[in-house]
Amino acid sequence: MSLILSLDTSTQNCSVALHENGQLITQELVDEEGSHSKSLTLLIEKVMKTAGRALAELSAVAVSNGPGSYTGLRIGLATAKGICFALDKPLICLPTLRILASAVDAPAGSLLLPMLDARRMEVYAAVYTPALEEVSPQEAHILNQESFQTFAPVVAFGNGSAKWQESCTHSSITFLDGPLLPEAQYMGKLAHEAFLNQTFENLVTKEPDYLKEYMGTKPKLKSL
């Protein structure tokens, strides 16, 4: 049996869920840009209180590990590590795009193409089978008419697919309206599978999978 706390802070959503043996018990979500630092621990407390469970009862903590928001990923992983250190629990890290793909029931014979907006015409994307086996790894892609034409048929979804839908001419690609973003509620089965396989991470060395280097903005010089 497994009781796993799941955290997703990879996008503007900040979400927390509790699963037992892969089945959702309860969840909480805040959809607010920059809410991770002020909301995450409060959502964890609320989820555990609603479920009537204690953190000490957890089998593991799972966290989305990228790609996604640079700051959000750092906050999520740091919080997950803190709980695991304090309670001597294993850490499970899940690819953000695989979490998003797990929310979709693909038509028979179709591949899954989850896409997250990475600004302008760039997206984070990966290709999975309906069984969530990786066909093409998570990468940053600049979209054009030739993008993903070697995969067919494909179901594209996520907030990164909307910017490509009008210009995409591939008849083998179908676009779904949702889900647009990953959420902790979708992590249950993936986390339970990782727990059974003992796919755990090193609490000291594990870092977020950013896929791209962080590009900060230079502060503007104030005129005297």
Say which CATH topology domain 104-175 has.
Nucleotidyltransferase; domain 5 (3.30.420)
Q: How far apart are the C-alpha atoms of 151 and 39, rounded to whole Å?
A: 39
Strands (E), the chain: 3-8, 13-20, 23-31, 60-64, 91-94, 111-117, 122-128, 134-142, 154-157, 173-175
Q: Quote the pLDDT of residue 220.
A: 43
Per domain, the residue ranges of the chain are 3-96+182-196, 104-175
For the domain 3-96+182-196, what is the CATH code?
Answer: 3.30.420.40
pLDDT confidence tier of residue 33, bands split at 50, 70 and 90? confident
Q: How far apart are the C-alpha atoms of 189 and 185, rounded to whole Å?
A: 10
Q: Quote the pLDDT of residue 213.
A: 62
Q: Quote the pLDDT of residue 170.
A: 86
Q: Quote the pLDDT of residue 35.
A: 82
pTM for the model = 0.92
Each residue of 81-100: pLDDT tens digit? 999 999 999 999 999 999 99
Q: How far apart are the C-alpha atoms of 122 and 142, rounded to whole Å?
A: 4
Q: Quote the pLDDT of residue 224.
A: 31
Query: Looking at the DSSP assignment, which residues form a beta bridge with residue 30?
Result: 14
Q: Which 8-state DSSP code applies to residue 185?
A: G
Q: How far apart are the C-alpha atoms of 64 and 129, rounded to whole Å?
A: 20
What does pLDDT average to over the chain?
Answer: 92
Each residue of 185-214: pLDDT tens digit? 999 999 999 999 999 999 999 999 998 764
Fold match flag (3-96+182-196 vs 104-175): yes
Q: Is 178 exposed, middle or buried (0-12, 13-18, 19+ CB in 10 A)?
A: exposed
